[in-house]
Structure 1
Amino acid sequence: MLSWATLTLGLASAAVILVDSFIGGYRQPVRLMELVWPVTALYLGPAAIMAYRKWGRPQSPRWRQRYGNPPKKPRLAAVVFGLYHCLSHCALGAIIATLIIFNLGIDSAIEPLRPLYIGDYLGAVAVGVAFRYATEAHTGGRRVWAAIRAVVREDLLTVSTVELALFIWIALLEHFVFGETLRPSNPVFWFIHQIGLIIGFFAAWPVTSWLIHRGIRVEAPGTLP
């Protein structure tokens, strides 16, 4: 019941943001953010709605036409936006990879979760490259390489930290709490991932803050000052 409740809350929170963007007319200046915000809501729930209303909605042209320039964002907003982007890579990568792995029956006799770990990580990196590709300037054949370089330079360390925290969390619960490999058809499986992504969010905070402080990571794609 708890798992169903948290999953429903996440889906409802994502729906609220989608309705506000597409029906309310508060479209984001960079369309990528219209994916990042609802994906963030899948695991942060109402907290993502609060962040969206404070930092996301004021980015929209409609908001700016009505109220002028939005309030200046605090310094921590750059870290939060960077984490939202990288966590979106991880969340979408986990959903895509998990469904593929379990539907194809890919398994490991030694470690049942190993294909899931590999698939989730590769999925997160692939989604990150796709995100960067969507926001890179059109540079012909170099656009793909520009996206890959941006992911390796700015996102890979954060994504790796999130994935490591997520894998440790899943492994501990699978081995010491449930004693079996949960399947995607079980709502507890996705509830565990929700909690794991939140753990990964805080685990990757120092890394993302360091990358921004060192100037390695710039403002997250799709955001305005």
Structure 2
Amino acid sequence: MLSWATLVLGLASAAVIVVDSFIGGNRQPAKVMELVWPVTALYFGPAAIMAYREWGRPQSARWRQRYGNPPKKPRHADVVFGLCHCLAHCTLGAVIATVIIFGFDINIAGETLRPLYVGDFVGAVAVGVAFRYATEAHTGGRKVWAAIRSVVREDLLTVSAVELTLFIWIALVEHLVFPDVVRPSSPVFWLIHQIGLIIGFFAAWPATLWLIRRGIRMETPGTPH
């Protein structure tokens, strides 16, 4: 029941953001953020709605026309946006990998966890490349190899920290708590991922902060100024 409740809450929170953005007219200047915000809500639930209303909605042209410039961002906003951006890679990569691995019954010696780990990581990097490419493709200035270099330079450390944390968490839960629920047909499987992503968010905070302070990670397009 708890698993189903968190799943419904995450989906409902994502729907609230999508409706506000597309039906309410609060479109984001960086189109990729229109995907990042709902994906963040899938695991952070109402907390993502609060962050979106505080920092995301004020970036829309509709909000600016009504209220002027958006409020000044706090110091930690850049870290939060960087983490949300990278965790969107991890979340979508995990969903894609899960569908492929369990859909085609891919396993190693009868075990699905190891191919799931590989698939999650590869999927996260692939989604990151797609995000980077799509973000600047309209300018004609970023091609596939440039997008790959950008992901390796700016996102790979954060993504790796999140994925490592997620892998450790899933392995511990699988072997110590719920030995037979690592199947996507179980709502507990998705609750485990939700919790793992939240843990990974905070575990990757130091790495993301270091990247920003060193000037390695640039500001995510569409973040508050």
Aligned amino acid, residue 122 of structure 1: V
Residue aligning to 1:216: 216
**Count of matched residue pairs:** 224
Report the more deviating stretch, 189-198 or 102-111: 102-111
Alignment gaps of 5+ in structure 1:
none
Residue aligning to 2:17: 17
| 2:96 equivalent to 1:96 | yes
Please give the TM-score of this superposition, normalised by the length of structure 2: 0.96
Residue aligning to 1:83: 83
Shift in Å, 1:139: 3.9
Q: Give structure 1 regions of 4+ aligned residues with deviation exceeding 2 angstroms.
A: 136-140, 221-224
Alignment gaps of 5+ in structure 2:
none
After superposition, the CA RMSD in angstroms is 1.2
Describe the SS at the equivalent of 1:128.
Answer: helix
CA–CA separation in structure 1 for the residues paired with 2:106 and 2:27: 40
Identity, in percent, stands at: 79
Describe the SS at the equivalent of 1:136.
Answer: helix
| 2:27 equivalent to 1:27 | yes
CA–CA separation in structure 1 for the residues paired with 2:203 and 2:214: 18
CA–CA separation in structure 2 for the residues paired with 1:112 and 1:210: 34
Residue aligning to 2:107: 107
Shift in Å, 1:179: 2.1
Aligned amino acid, residue 65 of structure 1: Q
CA–CA separation in structure 1 for the residues paired with 2:176 and 2:108: 19
CA–CA separation in structure 2 for the residues paired with 1:19 and 1:139: 31
Deviations 1:57-109 (A, max 9, x none): 00000000000001111120000000000000000000011011100010111
Residue aligning to 1:40: 40
Residue aligning to 1:205: 205
Deviations 1:177-222 (A, max 9, x none): 1223521010000000000000000000000001001111110133
Shift in Å, 1:145: 1.2
Please give the TM-score of this superposition, normalised by the length of structure 1: 0.96
Contact 1:165–1:200 at 8 Å: present in 2 too? yes
Contact 1:136–1:147 at 8 Å: present in 2 too? no
